[in-house]
Amino acid sequence: MRLRCRQTFRSPINVAQTQKLCVGLVLATFLSACGVTARIEPYKQTNSVIREGEQVVVLARKHHATHEAEAEFIECISEGLAKGRDGLEVHSTTAFEDQLYPWFEPSLAPLNTDELTELLEKPGVLERVEATGVRFVVWLDGSTDRTASGGGITCAAGIGGAGCVGLAWWEDDARYDATIWDLESLTSAGTIYADFLGRSVMPAIIIPIPLIVRPRARACKGLTEQLKNFLTTPYGYGPGPELG
């Protein structure tokens, strides 16, 4: 009689796949901690809309140096307004300031529509403004600032290799106000307030893995869409797209 031995075989464990799965789960957890919280508050007090052949210019408020909108943000808004099928005619910021020099320098730029009216009453100023073709002036004020940070990452090296472990995080807040002036009626057409708060994290599992959000880029996109709606839709145009 022949004896047969029964053997039990286990499926081999794929260590690499297990590690990838663990890393994926960890990253998914950290990704859920990242994100941007958006808040946009538009307020339009006239039914003015931009017409064909009219232009808009985007300028930075410069009366307070610590709140001057970044040049890159001004450029981002200007380019966004001009893009797409619904793009507007946007006048160059630099060209506008040069054409009206020195009236839009920090010490002379009007801070409200009453001062704008006084400025346009000066000899030759109104003619220079009309020559630009600009109907609406968008004044931008604000900045993107680091508001909080925490955590830490520790790295070490030894005979067996090197690696890092830990978690760092930070929050950036992009806050901007857009005030729209109508040069035809010499009135303030309204304002748009935008606040985008973004949290980034950098977990370290052997190597640091930066998971970065960019609230300023999101603020540019959201504010651009709102400005397009503001300038092309009469009073009561309603909220813009859901920005999440």
Residues 172-212 pLDDT 10s: 999 999 999 999 998 999 999 999 999 999 998 888 889 99
Residue 153 CA from chain centroid, whole number: 28
What pTM was computed for the model?
0.78
Rounded mean pLDDT of the chain? 83
Rounded to whole angstroms, the Cα distance separating 17 from 23 reads 10
Residue 215 CA from chain centroid, whole number: 5
Q: Is the pLDDT of residue 215 over 50?
A: yes
Instruction: Kindly state the tokens that stand for 46.
Output: 């006239």
Give yes or no for a contact between 164 and 155, defined as CB atoms under 8 angstroms apart: yes
CA distances from 170 to 78, 111, 164, 198, 219 (A): 29, 35, 19, 8, 18
- Region 35-232: CATH code: 3.30.160
pLDDT, tens digit, for every residue of 4-26? Answer: 444 444 444 454 454 444 455 44
Q: Is the pLDDT of residue 164 over 70?
A: yes
Could you tell me which residues are beta bridge partners of residue 170? Answer: 149, 200
